[in-house]
Amino acid sequence: MSAAYTAAYSADAIARAGAALAAFIRREQRLWIITGAGVSTDSGIPDYRDARGEWKRSPPVQHGDFMAFEAVRQRYWARALAGFEAMRRAPVSGAHRALAELEAMGFVEQLVTQNVDRLHQRAGSRRVIDLHGRADTVSCTSCGYSIMRYALHAEMAARNPAFTGLDAGHAPDGDADIELDFSTFEVIDCRRCGGIFKPDVVYYGDVVPKARREAARAGLFRANAALAVGTSLMVFSGYRFFRDAHARGMPLASLSLGVTRADPMLSEKWCAPLTPVLEYAVAQLKQQSGAA
C-alpha cells in the first residue's frame, strides 16, 4: 500500500513537503504530535478510513456490545486468534523511526498515539501516551486482573482448535476478515472472579481514562505547536486536542493522505506519503544542525 501511495507523488513533491515540514518543526521547536493508523500502514497494519475520512470497512466493535453480548465476544476473540498475530509481528515503519528521531533531536514535547500497536515504543519513542490503550495486554473488567494477551490467545487456541490456522485477511487493530458460525467458540473469562476479559483498549462508545486525557492535554499546553500525522482526527477523542489548541492560538499542521476533521483550523497541511516526507524532514534538520 505504501509503495502505491508513494508512486503517486513525484520526488519533487515529496521534497517540497519534507522541506516545508522541516521548516515548521525548526520554527516551532517543541511539538505536540498526535498519530493515527496512517503511521502503521507501512508496517502492514490496515487502517479504517479512506482519504475522504469515510469508513473503508465496518466500524470496529462497540464497547457496549462487547460487554453485553456473549456472541459479540465470541466473534471478536475467534477473529483475533487470526488477526492479532499480524499486529504482534508487525515491523516498525520508517514513519515510526523518523518520529523517534525527532524526539531524540529534542523536537517532540509529547507524542500521543491513537494506535494500540505499541510500535512507537518499539521504534524508540519515549514520550508516548497511548490514548486508546494497548492491544497486547488484557484485563478483567470486574476485578482488574491483567495478563499478557498472547497467553490468553494460547489458552483460547488450545480450547478452540477448529478456529486456529484459518486463512484470513488482516484487518485493523488485530482483527481479521472472517465470517463463520462463531457460536461454538469458547470464550475464556477471568480465572479469579469470572468477570469479562477485555483488551486494554478504548473501544468505540467507551471513554479515554481521565488521567490519560489530562496528561495528553498537559503535554499539549507545554508545546509550541501541534502536528497530526497519519490521522483524519474524525474520532472526537483525538480531535478535541486540536480544538483546544486552536482555541489557544497554537499553530496546527497535518501530514496525511486525505482530509482531516481539523482542516479549517490548520495553518499548514501536507497531503503526501508519511514515511518519505518524515524521513526527508529529519534528514534536512540533521543537515542544518550539522549532525551526521
- Ramachandran angles phi, psi of 60, nearest 5°: -70, 175
C-alpha cell at 287: 543537515
- Ramachandran angles phi, psi of 9, nearest 5°: -120, 135
**CA 158 to chain centroid:** 30
What are the strands, taking DSSP E only, across the chain? 31-35, 108-113, 128-130, 133-140, 146-148, 169-170, 176-177, 197-201, 225-229, 252-256, 268-271
Rounded Cα gap, residues 283 and 287, in angstroms: 6
143 marked as binding residue? yes
**Contact, 195 vs 139, CB < 8 A?**
no
C-alpha cell at 222: 507545554
271 marked as binding residue? no
Rounded Cα gap, residues 244 and 241, in angstroms: 5
- Ramachandran angles phi, psi of 225, nearest 5°: -160, 165
Looking only at Cα atoms, what is the longest distance across the chain? 62
Catalytic residues, by residue number, are 132
**CA 62 to chain centroid:** 17
Q: Strand 197-201 and strand 176-177: pairing?
A: unpaired
**Binding site listing:** 140, 143, 190, 193
Residues annotated within the binding site for Zn(2+) are 140, 143, 190, 193
